[in-house]
Amino acid sequence: MMKHKLGYIAVAGALGLIANAASADNLAALVQAAKKEGELNTIALPHDWCGYGNVIAGFKAKYGIKVNELNPDAGSADELEAIKANKNNKGPQAPDVIDVGLSFGPQAKAAGLLQPYKVSTWKSIPDNVKDKDGYWYGDYYGVLTFQVNRDLVSKAPADWADLLKPEYKNAVALAGDPRAANQAIQGVFAAGLSHAKGDVNKAADAGLKFFSQLNKNGNFVPVIGKAASLAQGTTPIIVRWDYNALADRDTLKGNPKVDVIVPKSGVVAGVYAQAISAYAPHPNAAKLWMEYLFSDEGQVAWLKGYCHPIRFNDLTAKKKIPSELISKLPDAAAYKKAVFPTIEQQEAYKAGITKQWDSVVGSNVK
């Protein structure tokens, strides 16, 4: 998933590569160039994640551009690999854009996988969640919760330590492979943060030890948790972003009954980031996609999918958020303890968790 120096447009090739779209004239030129390309290649965007089904539909309806959706269940590391593997591929297998965990943004930039672009709402994106040169930028955030199938779990866990109890045998899963998927990496970190009493520097090791114990107790299920596995009972408890868990609750419509619980401690907020591939086959469509996502319309569309858009404060100040959307969000008090790890902290614990999962936990999640 994703400005400009006003008035500057660079033309490259027959399509007229638009360097920025800070003005209405530039945006019109970008729309024209994107429509000439006619297609956009996305990756790792499940329709029930952050309301992406409606986001994609809105973009297609507004601009008439075909969207090729690659590997919806890919993790952040998989997205970077897809760029690397398709550097010389101009077909639908080469992603134009990516939506990755925040710590993967600097990693992708350092590897030369991204191209810079600053959207017209650039100034309203907080400085601490964007690359100053526009190579990547935060798009939305949520907190990790326990998604619980209450038809199978009589008493829902209230905190991380509860997950170790015998009553949760063969019940607890992560929503991804912690060796590659940001959501799962953050889940391990969050558990560790709880057990390390909020010490960010000790949380990665504590999280690995926690999941090692969870595995030894027979409580950990090495299956990637999804709505289907929750409903089927394969993974009755999933550590999952609030927006995914809440969307599943709506989709399942009470069959089974789903509780979404913000833990009492170790509440971790995760920011995801958008970026454009340095090898994007459709660079103008990619930039237009970014303009759409970071517009008021795009940001509110994410909120409909229970994600807090990165421009949430800006939209609130401008009274752009419908009151009925606010009422559907969990109690704001549950989020007051949320910790927003810095990019440097995320890079450090991501490296520790991905490299040591096999040796410390020894569970092959798939």
Q: What is the CATH number of the domain that holds 209?
A: 3.40.190.10
In a domain, 38, yes or no: yes
In a domain, 26, yes or no: no
The answer for 358, left when phi > 0, alpha when psi is -120 to 50, beta otherwise, is alpha
Q: Are residues 189 and 275 in the same domain?
A: no
Within the chain, what is the greatest distance between any pair of CA atoms? 65
Q: Are residues 205 and 352 in the same domain?
A: yes
Low-confidence ranges of the chain (pLDDT < 70): 1-25
Strand partners, 240: 145
Q: Sign of the C-alpha dihedral, residues 299, 303, 308, 314?
A: positive
Q: Which of 321, 287, 243, 353 lies closest to 9 in space, CA to CA? A: 287
> What pLDDT, on the 0 to 100 scale, is given for residue 13?
35
In the block, residue with structure tokens 């955030």: 141
Distances (CA, A) of 266 to 186, 201, 339, 343: 10, 13, 8, 18
> What pLDDT, on the 0 to 100 scale, is given for residue 11?
31
Q: Are residues 122 and 157 in the same domain?
A: no
Report pLDDT digits (tens) over 189-226. Answer: 999 999 999 999 999 999 999 999 999 999 999 999 99
Question: Is the peptide bond between 256 and the residue preceding it cis, with omega within 30 degrees of 0?
Answer: yes
Q: Are residues 255 and 357 in the same domain?
A: yes
Tell me how many domains the chain contains: 2
* Confidence (pTM): 0.82
Three-state DSSP at 208 gives helix
Q: Are residues 217 and 357 in the same domain?
A: yes
How many other C-beta atoms can be found within 10 angstroms of the C-beta atom of residue 173? 27
Q: Are residues 177 and 260 in the same domain?
A: yes
Q: Are residues 123 and 180 in the same domain?
A: no
Q: Which residues contact 229 (CB under 8 A, 6 or more apart)?
A: 173, 223, 235, 238
> What pLDDT, on the 0 to 100 scale, is given for residue 105?
96
Q: Are residues 46 and 190 in the same domain?
A: no
The DSSP code sequence of 30-99 is: HHHHHHHH-EEEEES--TTSTTHHHHHHHHHHHH--EEEEE-TT--HHHHHHHHHHTTT--STTS-SEEE
In a domain, 106, yes or no: yes
> What pLDDT, on the 0 to 100 scale, is given for residue 24?
58
> What pLDDT, on the 0 to 100 scale, is given for residue 327?
81
Q: Are residues 99 and 212 in the same domain?
A: no
Q: Which of 61, 67, 79, 54 lies closest to 1 in space, CA to CA? A: 79
Q: Are residues 286 and 297 in the same domain?
A: yes
> What pLDDT, on the 0 to 100 scale, is given for residue 12?
34
E strand segments, 117-207: 137-149, 172-174
Report pLDDT digits (tens) over 136-156. Answer: 999 999 999 999 999 999 999
Q: Measure the CA–CA gap between 237 and 145, rounded to whole angstroms.
A: 10
Q: Please give the residue range of the domain that contains residue 178.
A: 142-268+337-361
In a domain, 128, yes or no: yes
Q: Contact, 182 vs 104, CB < 8 A?
A: yes
Q: Are residues 198 and 302 in the same domain?
A: no
In a domain, 350, yes or no: yes
Q: Are residues 342 and 207 in the same domain?
A: yes
